[in-house]
Amino acid sequence: MNRMIFKHELQTRIRSILTWGLSITALVFVLFTYFSVFAKEAELMQALLAKFPKELLIAFGMEHINYSTPLGYLAFFFLFIQLCLAIQACNFGVGLVSIEETELTADFLLTKPVSRMEILSSKVGAALASLVLTDAIVWVSVFFALTIYGEGKPYDPRTLVLLLASLLFMQFFFFGVGLMISLLVKRVRSVTPYSLALAFGAYVLNAFSGVFGDVKLEYITPFKHFEPGYIVDHAAYNTPLLVFNVTITLLSLAASYWLYLHRDISAVS
Amino acid sequence: MNIFLREIKATRKSLLIWIVVMGLLILIAASKFSAFAGDPEMLKILDSIPPAMLEVMNANAFNLTTIIGFYGLMFLYFGLMGAIAAAMWGSDSISKEERDKTVEFSLVLPVSRSRVVTAKLLAALVNCLVFVLVTWGMAIVSVQNYQPDQDFYAFLRLEMLAMFLIELIFLAIGLLLSCGLKNHKIVSSMAVGIILVTYFFSIIVKMNKDFAFLKNFSPFYYYDAGEMYRNGHLNGMYVGFSVAIVMVCVIAAYWMYNKRDLYTP
């Protein structure tokens, strides 16, 4: 780990951390101000739902979620927080080393007396730290929103912690996969199209996840690995999917190291 | 013409990636659908739900055991993917020259700036059109097992038309951003911001009546699949609205690009 690189990398990410962290904070607060209104409607709905056959609720992926509880309500729009953070993580992953080549600074960096291993480790370390910082902002804001607008309704703190911690796993997944993809292609011209395709692609594949039974193909998307409804309902992660998720993250990071150490970096000509 | 062909070639890969993602979505949806297609049990359950309930589940006006119902449910995702792809093509087309430091080269060619924008716009337009047509084709192939009738084809045609209109809106917005803003780094973050905010609006509009006014700010919501099915045509007011947005953005884009200074780091 090289302190100079780490510091520089962290500095360039401050704006992104604040932008994403604060926009999500705004989102959480705006939505939670409507909690009381929504909870009342939801209680009526819940009474209505109780009359329906269980198969129907399962078919629509609605057997888990109870909007009248603070955590149920959070789970309801949690997917959107996940989506935002996934885009950020993809941005960091895809841009981590490719940016040096697009901005023609790769030669400059690689002529420094530091090994590639050290460069990549410092960069990865700084990016992961930035992801954790962003998540920390989100954690704090969700906690405050729950306390202020939760109407004092009880919730299970353990479930909340699990739900919020899942954001980290999710971000690391997208970061690792994004980094690997950026090293697999010959040249990344622009980061955004890659990260949007990756994040929204995964999001859309998850679109019908609750509806009408399982399709194996769905398990490739991390949105499915950390379904908020499942976590709230079981107060636990879906262990096989969690293991799968972490394995993919680690594999893609290992592959990235290998690829970067062997990469033919295009020089300024 | 050369610029146009060059653009088509440069964006080929991205078009391919989007088509693959769309193909995966249709594949997943089709295999979900096969589980309960025409299942009378399911139909009975669905019939027992009061309409207000269906409204909440965004399944109004649809019988989900039919392909029309199922493709109605999928429309939002078609629109979303079309919008992102189009916004990327629009915003990347102009600003990539400055990012890749090729802008001087392309602007010293004996063509006016307007000609450059036109060629790039046309190339992006062709991409959008191809994306819609391929989606259309894949959708038709995916339902062949269920004997689609005339109604389904008519409905799918409307859906694809609506998807194309959504694409045009985001293409125009992307083009305006990349023509109007000097710093190419801001262009792509703004494009992401606009997509996320408008998509988010389309979700919370359904949550509460207080949010209904947001409908006008979210192109994803201009064309409602249920409404299309019931009326058999697109909402005329919103078609006009879409055309107006596209016109204003494109005209402003040409005007601004002709006046703007180039980005110098």
Cβ burial, residue A89 (10 Å; 0-12/13-18/19+) = buried
Q: What percentage of residues in chain A have a pLDDT greater than 70?
A: 88
DSSP assignment of B81-129, as one string?
A: HHHHHHHHHHHHHHHHHHHTT-HHHHHHSSS-HHHHHHHHHHHHHHHHH
The answer on pLDDT for B16 being more than 70 is: yes
Residue A86: per-residue pLDDT:
95
pLDDT band at A61 (very low <50, low <70, confident <90, very high): low
Q: What percentage of residues in chain B have a pLDDT greater than 90?
A: 38
Q: Which residues 8-47 of chain A have a CB within 8 Å of chain B?
A: 27, 31, 34, 37-38, 45
Q: What does the pLDDT average to over B52-69?
A: 60
Report the alpha-carbon angle A237-A239-A240, nearest 5: 140
Q: Average model confidence (pLDDT) for chain A?
A: 86
The answer on pLDDT for A174 being more than 60 is: yes
pLDDT band at A55 (very low <50, low <70, confident <90, very high): low
Q: Which residues 145-204 of chain A have a CB within 8 Å of chain B?
A: 189-193, 196-197, 200-201, 204
Nearest to A230 by CA among A149, A166, A154, A146: A166
Its ipTM equals: 0.83
What residues of chain A lie within 8 A of the CB of B99, using their CB? 102, 189-190
pLDDT band at A249 (very low <50, low <70, confident <90, very high): very high
Nearest to A84 by CA among A234, A216, A203: A203
Of the two residues B177 and A210, the one the predictor is more confident about is: B177
Lowest mean pLDDT among A236-240, B41-45, B63-67, B215-219: B41-45
Of the two residues A102 and A217, the one the predictor is more confident about is: A102
Terminal Cα-to-Cα distance of chain B (whole angstroms): 30
pLDDT band at B163 (very low <50, low <70, confident <90, very high): very high
pLDDT band at B61 (very low <50, low <70, confident <90, very high): very low
Lowest mean pLDDT among A55-59, B99-103, B131-135, B228-232: A55-59
Tokens 């009248």, located at residue: A68
The answer on pLDDT for B104 being more than 90 is: no
Terminal Cα-to-Cα distance of chain A (whole angstroms): 30
Nearest to A178 by CA among A266, A78, A255, A244: A255
Gap between the Cα atoms of B32 and B35, Å rounded: 6
- Domain map of chain A by residue range? 3-261
Q: Which residues 60-79 of chain B have a CB within 8 Å of chain A?
A: 73, 77
Q: Average model confidence (pLDDT) for chain B?
A: 84
Residue B248: per-residue pLDDT:
96
Query: Which residues in A45-80 are b (16+ Cβ under 10 Å) and which e?
Result: bbeebeebeeebeebbbbbbbbbbbbbbbbbbbbbb
Residue B148: per-residue pLDDT:
81
Q: A11: Cβ–Cβ under 8 A, 6 or more apart, which residues?
A: none
The answer on pLDDT for A212 being more than 70 is: no
Nearest to B221 by CA among B158, B174, B166: B166
Of the two residues A112 and A57, the one the predictor is more confident about is: A112
Flag if B36 and A212 touch (Cβ within 8 Å).
Answer: yes
pLDDT band at B230 (very low <50, low <70, confident <90, very high): confident
The answer on pLDDT for A105 being more than 80 is: yes
Residue A70: per-residue pLDDT:
84
Name the DSSP class of B66: S
Q: What is the pTM (predicted TM-score) of this model?
A: 0.88
Nearest to B172 by CA among B103, B105, B244: B244
Residue B164: per-residue pLDDT:
95
Flag if B45 and A192 touch (Cβ within 8 Å).
Answer: no
Lowest mean pLDDT among A182-196, A239-253, B244-258: A182-196
The answer on pLDDT for B118 being more than 50 is: yes
Lowest mean pLDDT among A10-14, B22-26, B47-51, B191-195: B47-51
Residue B174: per-residue pLDDT:
95
- Which helix (H) or strand (E) is A95 found in, with range? helix A70-102
Lowest mean pLDDT among A17-31, A46-60, A205-219: A46-60
The answer on pLDDT for B60 being more than 70 is: no
Q: What does the pLDDT average to over B50-70?
A: 61
What residues of chain B lie within 8 A of the CB of A215, using their CB? 28, 31-32
pLDDT band at A42 (very low <50, low <70, confident <90, very high): confident
Residue A265: per-residue pLDDT:
83
The answer on pLDDT for A101 being more than 90 is: no
Our measurement of the distance from residue A175's CA atom to the centroid of its chain's CA atoms, rounded to an integer in Å, reads 9
Q: What does the pLDDT average to over B176-204?
A: 87
Gap between the Cα atoms of A43 and B61, Å rounded: 25
Q: Name the 3-class secondary structure at B265.
A: coil
What residues of chain B lie within 8 A of the CB of A197, using their CB? 14, 17-18, 21, 84
